[in-house]
Amino acid sequence: MTTAAPLLRRPGVVLGIRYAAAIALTLFFDFPIYWLFIISFKTPDEIFHYPPVWYPKSIQFANYGVLFKDGDANTVLNSLVLAGVSTVLAMLLGTICAYGLVRFKTGGENLAVWIISQRMMPPIAIVFPIFLLYVWFGWVDTYQGLILLYTAFNLPYVIWMMRGYIEDIPIELEESALVDGCTRWQVLWRVVFPMARSGLFATSVFTFVFAWNDFLFALVLTRTEVITYTVQVTHYFGGQSNFWAKIAAMSVLGTVPVFFTVATLQRYLVRGISMGAVKG
């Protein structure tokens, strides 16, 4: 008589359970996103329908059309400008600062600690004083105001991350360049930046996404000129009824770019969001 192996020991069973769990989790985490996307393609009838329409008869782009016609879609452009420029600035200034910290230990421990502590600053605490300051400068609702703010807010992260990447560069490469004919600045552009390419790339994506997804700063510091897509979405909230279609479409417009960029950066995802704690 053969004894059957206990249920859990049979190889296929555990795998099967794991797959089932994986699928259930994926459903839980991705359904709301699916729902959001789907709404943006539905007709008003399909949106306000009971029982719910799980998938629409056909993909309608009418909702998007409205956004573009009204000029609301321009807010995505605003977000692009703000996030893009501030990312470039933060990467540039942050990387050379990180270089100083790593190779010259400028400012020593104290400077490094102070810079990191800036990352811990709660936005709500500084947004108000910044607001007062900007009122004084006349920078409320301007591009430069928010660009400066996003740059400042991203600098600690960039410095922190690039420090790790720069430490990984063999110093002989820089020394050889110095002897061969480079000034210190040339060493930065010709050796350090190329060698840290992958780190630059990964960090810039996270920096960009952070600025792109910001809401609080944009809420406080924009009025009519420089509205970002995040603020625009909230314009469609209503006490009694929401502009469902617009909320969904606007959100999708603002989200697809992020999905796209993150998808291309799978490899660096873990290192990036854990602030380098794990070298994923």
Residues 49 to 78 in contact with another protein, rule: CB under 8 A = 49-52
In the set 61, 77, 167, 184, which binds another protein (CB under 8 A)?
Answer: 184
Using CB under 8 A as the binding rule, whether residue 137 contacts another protein is answered as no
Task: Tell which one of 199, 248, 249, 268 touches another protein (CB under 8 A).
Answer: 248
Q: Do residues 267 and 277 lie in contact, with contact meaning Cβ atoms separated by under 8 Å?
A: no
What is the nearest approach in angstroms of another protein to the Cβ of residue 140? 12
Per the listing, tokens 């560069």 go with 169
- 101 token code pair: 């910290």
Minimum CB distance to another protein smaller for 1 or for 181: 181
Which CA distances in Å does 71 have to 74, 76, 78, 280? 6, 10, 12, 42
**Cis peptide leading into residue 52 (ω within 30°):** no
Three-class SS string for 203-260? HHHHHHHHHHCCCHHHHHHCCCCCCCHHHHHHHCCCCCCCCHHHHHHHHHHHHHHHHH
State the nearest-atom distance from the C-beta of 219 to another protein, in Å: 8
Q: How far is CA 113 from CA 14, 73, 83, 148, 186, in A?
A: 47, 41, 26, 22, 28
Residue 20 binding another protein, by CB under 8 A: no
Select the residue interacting with another protein from 41, 94, 165, 207 (CB under 8 A).
Answer: 94
Question: In the complex, what is the shortest distance from the CB of residue 105 to another protein, in angstroms, rounded to a whole number?
Answer: 8
C-alpha 191/C-alpha 170 separation (Å) is 10
Number of residues that bind another protein (CB under 8 A): 112
**Cβ 183 to another protein shortest distance, Å:** 7
| Interaction of residue 227 with another protein, rule CB under 8 A | no
Among the candidate windows 5-13, 62-70, 271-279, which touches another protein by CB under 8 A? 271-279
Cα dist. 20→6, 7, 23, 24 in Å?
Answer: 20, 16, 5, 6
Give the one residue of 80, 81, 88, 173 binding another protein; rule: CB under 8 A: 173
**Does residue 88 interact with another protein by CB under 8 A?**
no
Residue closer to another protein, measured from CB, 59 or 123: 123
- Exactly one of 85, 130, 140, 166 binds another protein (CB under 8 A); that residue is 130
Q: Residue 108, interface with another protein (CB under 8 A)?
A: no
When binding is defined by CB under 8 A, the residue of 59, 194, 223, 225 that contacts another protein is: 194
Question: What DSSP letter does each residue of 83-113 carry, written as one string?
Answer: HHHHHHHHHHHHHHHHHIIIII-TTHHHHHH
Which of 107, 141, 142, 235 touches another protein (CB under 8 A)?
107
Q: Give whole-number Cα distances, 32 to 22, 26, 35, 218, 221, in Å.
A: 17, 11, 5, 25, 30
Contact flags string 149-168 toward another protein, x per CB under 8 A: x-xxx-xx--x---------
9 scored as a contact of another protein (CB under 8 A): no
- From the list 177, 200, 226, 249, which residue makes contact with another protein (rule: CB under 8 A)? 177
